[in-house]
Amino acid sequence: MLQRIVSGGRWTQAQPAAACLAARWMSSNAGELAHALDDLPPYRPGSNPKWERVEAAKREAALGGGEARIAKQHKQGKLTARERLQLLFDPGSFKEAGALVQHRCNDFDMDRQQPFGDGVVTGSGKVFGRPAFAFSQDFTVFGGSLSESHALKICRLMDRAVAAGAPVVGLNDSGGARIQEGVMSLAGYAEVFQRNVDASGVVPQLSLVMGPCAGGAVYSPALTDFTFMVRHSSYMFLTGPEVVRSVTREEVTQEQLGGAGTHTTKSGVAHGAFDNELDALAGVRELLSFLPLSNRDKLPQIPCTDPTDRQCPYLDYVVPGSELEAYDMLGVVQQVVDDGQVLEIMREYARNMIVGFARLEGRTVGIVANQPAVLAGCLDIDASVKAARFVRFCDAFNIPLLTFVDVPGFLPGTAQEYGGIIRHGAKLLYAYAEATVPKLTVITRKAFGGAYDVMSSKHLRGDVNLSWPTGQIAVMGAKGAVEILFRGKDTDMKQQEQEYELKFSNPFQAAKVGFIDDVILPRTTRQRLCQELEVLADKKVWRPQRKHGNIPL
């Protein structure tokens, strides 16, 4: 009891719970007398100058850039670096490392300002009882600017995280490089970048941009697995509006250039945005709960109360009778997964593709799904890149992939071709082909042309490829096919279309040759996937030795 309180660093005003409870049970005076010393504070020689100096330094470190700057930060709807960490980790679990670090710069009178911590708080703690590491830039100290020591703290933290095999969360709130330190600051960035790359695929790396993140600094979040932003208080860009104006004469605000809206809808730099910091930190905790701690960790599994044999009658009706009608694929996914909970990644970007995390029987799965309600669910550059990166993340961390297919093909047009849809589409193809995690695929309706191949098909070593009776696995839709097959021929197109439909607009052609393992009733989808996944849990694939493949970047 006492041990815990002392190590907590300070006395809490409220009586500890256990003491309360004990007091309730010890109702007699004799009982209270027996434990009279419980209330005595521990030995704490305030007069000892050595102890006092440490205490004072820690108090100073805890205040960061001082109360005035903290108030200013709060006024902007932003929390301090330490507050953020306390919210990110389970209550009381955060342990700081490097609180007393100071910078080593003597230029520009910097030696006269030596704040403890040097603009970044680093340490570790627990998220839902599981270990994680985090650094949090302190905007109240030199605007969170990155110095040599600041960078070194981050690097040490990352080294420890990789060694310990636990995720790293970066909370970015920094004005940029510490100009006074010159190249030492740039070196610091690069050291962090190198570690981001070294840790990539070893431990999950998450970035939460909670303030400015400009210039070279943006590349650290860009190298991590997921980047999140806070609406209206964070922005990311390489060159700010002023430079943009002087070079290209474009008038643009910070928000337009690099706000959360821009990066979650237009650029795809950020994977999600939150309305405020409390939501953001809660959201990052939620995401961490889905992820293994490292590539050597087992897939997390939580107790599942949603019956694995739950039937989903809704799915029997969801695919419309008319081919031209759309439906919401997210609704389909929500029916299938545990408790209907899907944590979507990049929800606002390339909405014709859904990616996200969910659970089946309590085990994390990565969801990739065409969204017929947007652009008919076709594959375009953005959707391919979005899904490709997600597939590779899941593969790196042994998260099984669950793919829902309703894809009419690739989006045609000069914009796509000039933009390199061939190159970008190849990324998704590559990612699926390379992935060795269990791959389960459900074709709900269309699986046309090259897009069929790409979407976790049997040919890309899909483990279980299922189709609903409404599945249509073909080179293209009936109308287009008939137009090509009978071009210039004098024939009844309508009848030919019907014949083509009868022949190809169904799962039989594919099932006949084993490209589809089974045609299932939609309502049984969840049950079937849970069963298949259980069987595949220990899937192993051996690949020939190589340094690394060459994904078409």
Q: Cα(293)–Cα(364) distance, rounded to whole angstroms? A: 12
303 binds other proteins (CB under 8 A): yes
17 is catalytic: no
Q: How far is the CB of 83 from other proteins (least distance, A)?
A: 6
317 binds other proteins (CB under 8 A): yes
- Among 83, 255, 348, 453, which residue interacts with other proteins (rule: CB under 8 A)? 83
Q: How far is the CB of 326 from other proteins (least distance, A)?
A: 13
- Among 130, 156, 479, 539, which residue interacts with other proteins (rule: CB under 8 A)? 130
Q: How far is the CB of 354 from other proteins (least distance, A)?
A: 16
306 binds other proteins (CB under 8 A): yes
3-class SS of residue 220: helix
Give bridge partners of residue 199 from the DSSP assignment: none
Beta pairing class for 363-370 and 353-360? antiparallel
Rg (CA), the chain: 28
Specify the DSSP class assigned to residue 507.
S
Q: How far is the CB of 521 from other proteins (least distance, A)?
A: 12
Q: How far is the CB of 288 from other proteins (least distance, A)?
A: 9
451 is catalytic: yes
- Among 239, 254, 289, 498, which residue interacts with other proteins (rule: CB under 8 A)? 289
- Among 232, 461, 479, 539, which residue interacts with other proteins (rule: CB under 8 A)? 232
Beta pairing class for 472-474 and 439-448? parallel
Block residue for tokens 């949603």: 306
Catalytic choice (216, 261, 268, 362):
216
CA dist 316 to 63, 255, 533, Å?
Answer: 59, 44, 22
549 is catalytic: no
Residue pair 148/183 in contact (Cβ under 8 Å)? The answer is: no
339 binds other proteins (CB under 8 A): yes
DSSP one-letter string for 391-453: HHHHHHTT--EEEEEEE--BPPSHHHHHHTHHHHHHHHHHHHHH--S-EEEEEEEEEEHHHHH
Q: Which two tokens stand for residue 278?
A: 């409390």
Residue closer to other proteins (CB basis): 339 or 492? 339
Q: How far is the CB of 108 from other proteins (least distance, A)?
A: 33
Residue closer to other proteins (CB basis): 320 or 413? 320
Residues 6+ apart with CB under 8 A from 107: 180, 181
Q: Cα(130)–Cα(53) distance, rounded to whole angstroms? A: 34
25 binds other proteins (CB under 8 A): yes
- Among 8, 9, 340, 469, which residue interacts with other proteins (rule: CB under 8 A)? 340
- Among 5, 32, 62, 77, which residue interacts with other proteins (rule: CB under 8 A)? 77
Residue closer to other proteins (CB basis): 359 or 427? 359
3-state helix, strand, coil in the chain (%, to 5): 45, 15, 35
318 binds other proteins (CB under 8 A): yes
Residues 6+ apart with CB under 8 A from 246: none
**Residues in contact with other proteins, shown as a per-residue x/- string from 268 to 287 under the rule CB under 8 A:** -------xxxxx--xx-xx-
Catalytic choice (165, 261, 362, 450):
450
Q: Which residues bind other proteins (CB under 8 A)?
A: 17-18, 21-22, 24-25, 74-75, 77-79, 83, 86-87, 90-93, 126, 128-131, 232-233, 275-279, 282-283, 285-286, 289, 300-303, 305-307, 310, 313-318, 331, 335, 338-341
